[in-house]
Amino acid sequence: MSAKKLLVATGGGDCPGLNAVIRGIVKRAARESENGRNWEVWGSMEAFKGIMDDPLRLIRLDGGATSGIHVRGGTIIKTTNKGNPMAYPEKQADGTFKEVDKIPWLVDRMKSQGFEAVVNIGGDGSQAISQALHEAGMPVIGVPKTIDNDLGATDFTFGFQTAVQTATDAFDRLVTTANSHHRVMIMEVMGRNAGWIALYTAIAGGAEICLIPEIPYDIDVVVKRIRERYNDGRGFVNIVVAEGAFAKEGSVTAGEGELGRDAVRLGGVAYTLSEQLKSAGVEADIRETVLGHIQRGGIPIAYDRVLASVFGVKAFELVLDGKYGEMVVLKNNSFTSVPLAKAIADYNYVDPEGTLVNAAKGLGISFGI
């Protein structure tokens, strides 16, 4: 009996735990051979570019290719946040680029290569592609991946806890140098439009100030908090700021977008905040640290390895059950699934009135309001 073929893709930004998901899928698929049902698992290089390119760039994912990869960062099948097949930048005769919907063509391409289903591992943008593939008739399962933890259908996305641990380790080191030099240290973390990494890091690290997108800050309140710290003799301040944070009278700090990439590139708010503080009369020595992609790389912590591995197993079992158009989720300590349409509809913002924010305030952390 010929083997069934499953395609796996990792899209969007890289994330600790991607390889653990891939390994989980492959190991669970291998168990089916014991029951006489053979599956071949293939990886599409750089998200769906591997299946879209000529020649094809696909690799066989078997026990040998995936052995021990759960402890490795990154993804063995690579990834990209460009070349969205829903709005693919196609070069025209005059040298300009036009965005083209390649989803119907992509579905035909995958089916012509004998793939019966796809497991797409990614964040909200990648799962929007999953939904489009599902609507176009391709059997697809989504797996939630993002360090931002901004998918509302699941309690946690894998990679988030590792990013928080990385940010907290860096913050701990900044506290000691801030103390030694009587400085204001501003540490910028990722998260896009959600402040989860910043909030968790601020609580774990004992920050004086935490600025997140969900709570636009008043620069005068931030300045007041800094001066209070210096007036009582402690003489140093540590601030965590999410890349999507902004002042009440300001806007998000962002750079130019890129061709074939939907999301605007955020970053630089640490320097914006530094200038705002100086303009407001803060006389203390101010330094800025932008962690950037350090939060995405490296070995996933144990929590993310477990979460990602179970997600991989569960994703393949959804394929076996034919529950397509679903995304694996962790909800109330249970591994289950939700429709992709719901997964991409519910953005997971920090609740300004929620338990974590209130607990942070109880610890004396200021949100600049």
Question: Which tokens in the block code for residue 279?
Answer: 């303009």
Nearest C-alpha neighbor of 297 from the set 163, 100, 113, 177: 163
Residue 214 backbone dihedrals phi, psi, to 5 degrees: -75, -15
Cα 115 to the center of its chain, rounded Å: 27
CA dihedral 151, 155, 156, 157 (to 10 degrees): -40
Active-site residue, 148 included:
yes
Strand partners, 58: 44
Question: Which tokens in the block code for residue 355?
Answer: 């338990």
Question: Pick the catalytic residue: 124, 148, 150, 304?
Answer: 148
Q: Are 365 and 209 in contact (CB under 8 A)?
A: yes
Q: CA 159, CA 18: separation in Å to the nearest integer?
A: 8
- DSSP for 343-367, please give it: HHH-B----TTSHHHHHHHHTT-B-
Three-class secondary structure of residue 69 per DSSP: helix
Q: Are 243 and 192 in contact (CB under 8 A)?
A: yes
DSSP 326: E
- The set of catalytic residues is 148
